[in-house]
């Protein structure tokens, strides 16, 4: 992206520091865009675990505390992009598999606690591989084989991955409330952005507040009942605990089982592929060139460290979040400082039971409205990478189309299969190769990666783009690499705090 384009779109760049009050609101807005997912993961896990209702607020609060610390670590010591870290869906499938196996084994003591401790151990050990891949530079080395033909469908599939979530497509959804949320965000960000700076900077925050106020008013008036999508249970907020104690190893000492670690490695692999696409998307929207090999390595390495931390704290892992990338696209706020302020707020409120419950009462239709408004931005960011590519080339058109279709079709198939265990049984029945395909290592890796659209699309495009004949100019590599960041332009935490090099602007 040229400087002219960046300045016309980005309101606050990565190094900018808006006033504290403005940064506070902007930071909260960044986190509002990901609350749906960051609450969905712990609630799904809590349900699968059979966790007592009295423990759930503490479990949810732990996810927010981990998110805050992981975001601060990534933005300060990792890739230093303005990107929020949160609970990964990519690690949810193997996590549910671990929970199911442990609970079926009739463990001593509470089954939910035994399953959670095994899950913690699996995440801790599997994440050591992510640390090694990051800091040994293994993923960054792949960058030289990646062109815009690969990156475009990968990023676009990040945005398309949530088009079918229940918050958007459920048959019982409250379409009036979802439509109101979308209308408000579009109104503030696209039509009234020139009327007042508040509309330009806070369209998501304003949209959610207004839609939530309407839903709460209709709930109090009795128009929405407890069984109605859009109902807001204000009483539950008052009944929540004021303070929630959150600390390392709060559930006990993690357990370590090799088979669980192997299954979790698949989730970690899918998470790394997703993060690779996220780094390119946030760079594009922040007005920067494609990330350097060095920045990618430090980002993945730090995600691994924070996954180990998440396992020690007792959550379902941590990864970069696509949701707040969409917020950058809507608001033009790409300030690292803003995201760090938001992370501090989340770190604090994670200990406040009232807040966790308040966020939990945001109705699914409002969350769905957020997804509709923002994930389309990410799709467009992905497709914008095609500006470097020769679209008159039949090989490019084929690769992009194939990758997009595969990235939607294969996860849909995995969803029809239903579970990792069902997929493993089916793979075991394959002629000749069944004994190999049906092993937990192979089947779980295929199932988890196959359930992740951007992983399927990205890997498909990667293989085809590097095996089908095509010139560098045709693939867009020459022009793309001319705008990409070099390793010398990125200062790692070691460079800034130990090595004594002069800090450069990112």
Residue-wise pLDDT tens digits, 356-376: 778 778 898 998 888 888 778
Burial track 394-406 (b if 16+ CB lie within 10 A, e otherwise):
ebbeebbeebbeb
Please give the Cα distance from 318 to 320 (Å, whole number).
7
pLDDT at 160: 85
- State the first-to-last Cα distance of the chain, in angstroms, to the nearest integer: 14
Output the pLDDT for position 468. 97
1-15, 265-279, 321-335: range with lowest mean pLDDT: 1-15
Q: With cut-offs at 50, 70 and 90, classify the pLDDT of residue 504.
A: very low
Mean pLDDT of 184-188: 94
Q: Under 8 Å CB-to-CB from 175, ≥6 apart: which residues?
A: 365
In order of 43, 89, 118, 393, the CA distances from 123 in angstroms are 18, 14, 9, 43
3-state DSSP call for residue 319?
Answer: strand
Is residue 425 a contact partner of residue 438, using CB atoms and an 8 Å limit? Answer: yes
Return the number of other C-beta atoms located less than 10 Å from residue 337's C-beta: 19
pLDDT in the model for residue 2: 42
Pick from 488, 271, 305: which is nearest to 279 by CA?
271
What is the pTM for the complete model shown? 0.81
- Tokens standing for residue 302: 């730090």
Six-digit token string for 494: 């070691």
Average pLDDT across the chain, whole number = 87
Handedness of CA 61, 64, 69, 72 (dihedral sign): negative
* More confident position, 56 or 112: 112
- Residue 107 above 70 pLDDT? yes
Q: Is 254 helix (H, G, I), strand (E, B) or coil?
A: coil
Condensed to tens digits (0 to 9), the pLDDT of residues 413-463 reads 988 988 778 888 899 999 888 888 888 778 877 887 888 888 899 899 999
H/E element holding 399? helix 394-417
Q: List CB contacts of 288: < 8 A, sequence separation 6 or more.
A: 1, 6, 14, 485, 506
Read off the DSSP letter of residue 496: I
Q: Which residues, other chains included, contact 334 with Cβ-Cβ below 8 Å and sequence gap of 6+?
A: 10, 12, 13, 14, 82, 282, 285, 286, 287, 328
- Let me know: does 340 contact 80? Beta carbons within 8 Å: no
Burial class of residue 175 in the structure, from the number of CB atoms within 10 Å of its CB (0-12 exposed, 13-18 middle, 19+ buried): middle
- Angle of helix 175-186 relative to helix 203-220, nearest 10 degrees? 150
Q: Is the pLDDT of residue 4 over 70?
A: no
d(CA 143, CA 141): 5
Find how far residue 306's CA is from the centre of its chain.
14
Q: In this predicted structure, which of 97-106, 132-141, 225-234 has the lowest mean pLDDT?
A: 97-106
CA 161 to chain centre: 11
Please check the confidence at residue 232 and state whether its pLDDT lies above 60.
Answer: yes
């Amino acid at each position: 992206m040229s400087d002219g384009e960046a300045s016309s779109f980005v309101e606050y760049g990565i190094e900018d520091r808006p006033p504290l009050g403005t940064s506070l609101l902007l930071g909260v807005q960044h986190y509002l865009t990901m609350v749906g997912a960051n609450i969905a993961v712990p609630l799904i896990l809590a349900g699968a675990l059979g966790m007592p209702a009295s423990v759930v607020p503490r479990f949810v609060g732990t996810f927010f505390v981990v998110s805050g610390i992981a975001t601060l670590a990534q933005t300060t010591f990792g890739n230093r992009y303005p990107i929020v870290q949160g609970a990964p869906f990519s690690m949810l499938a193997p996590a549910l598999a671990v929970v199911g196996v442990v609970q079926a084994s009739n463990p001593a003591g509470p089954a939910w606690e035994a399953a959670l401790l095994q899950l913690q151990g699996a995440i801790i050990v599997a994440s050591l591989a992510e640390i090694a891949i990051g800091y040994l530079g293994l993923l960054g080395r792949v960058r030289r084989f990646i062109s815009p033909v690969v990156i475009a469908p990968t990023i676009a599939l990040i945005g398309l991955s949530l088009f079918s979530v229940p918050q958007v497509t459920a048959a019982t959804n409250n379409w009036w409330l979802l439509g109101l949320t979308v209308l408000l965000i579009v109104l503030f960000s696209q039509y009234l952005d020139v009327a007042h700076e508040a509309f330009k900077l806070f369209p998501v925050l304003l949209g959610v507040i207004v839609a939530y106020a309407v839903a709460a008013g209709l709930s109090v008036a009795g128009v929405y009942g407890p069984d109605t999508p859009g109902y807001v249970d204000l009483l539950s907020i008052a009944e929540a605990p004021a303070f929630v104690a959150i600390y390392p190893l709060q559930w006990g000492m993690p357990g370590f089982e090799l088979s669980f670690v192997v299954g979790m490695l698949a989730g970690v692999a899918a998470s790394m592929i997703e993060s690779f696409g996220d780094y390119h998307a946030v760079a594009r929207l922040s007005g920067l060139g494609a990330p350097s090999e060095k920045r990618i390595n430090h980002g993945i390495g730090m995600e691994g460290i924070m996954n180990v931390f998440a396992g020690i704290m007792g959550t379902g892992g941590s990864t970069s979040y696509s949701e707040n990338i969409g917020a950058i696209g809507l608001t033009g706020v790409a300030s690292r400082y803003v995201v760090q302020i938001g992370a501090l707020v989340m770190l604090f409120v994670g200990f406040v039971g009232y807040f966790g419950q308040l966020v939990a009462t945001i109705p699914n239709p409002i969350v769905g409205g957020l997804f509709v408004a923002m994930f389309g931005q990410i799709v467009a960011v992905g497709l914008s990478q095609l500006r470097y590519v020769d679209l008159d080339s039949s090989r490019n058109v084929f690769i992009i189309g194939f990758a997009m279709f595969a990235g939607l079709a294969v996860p849909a198939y995995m969803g029809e299969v239903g579970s990792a265990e069902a997929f493993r049984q089916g793979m075991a029945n394959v002629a000749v190769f069944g004994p190999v395909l049906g092993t937990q290592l192979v089947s779980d890796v295929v199932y988890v990666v196959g359930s992740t659209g951007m992983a399927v699309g990205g890997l498909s495009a990667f293989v085809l783009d590097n095996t089908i004949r095509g010139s560098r100019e045709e693939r867009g590599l020459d022009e793309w690499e001319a705008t990409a960041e070099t390793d010398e332009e990125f200062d790692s935490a070691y460079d800034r705090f130990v090595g004594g090099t002069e800090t450069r602007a990112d």
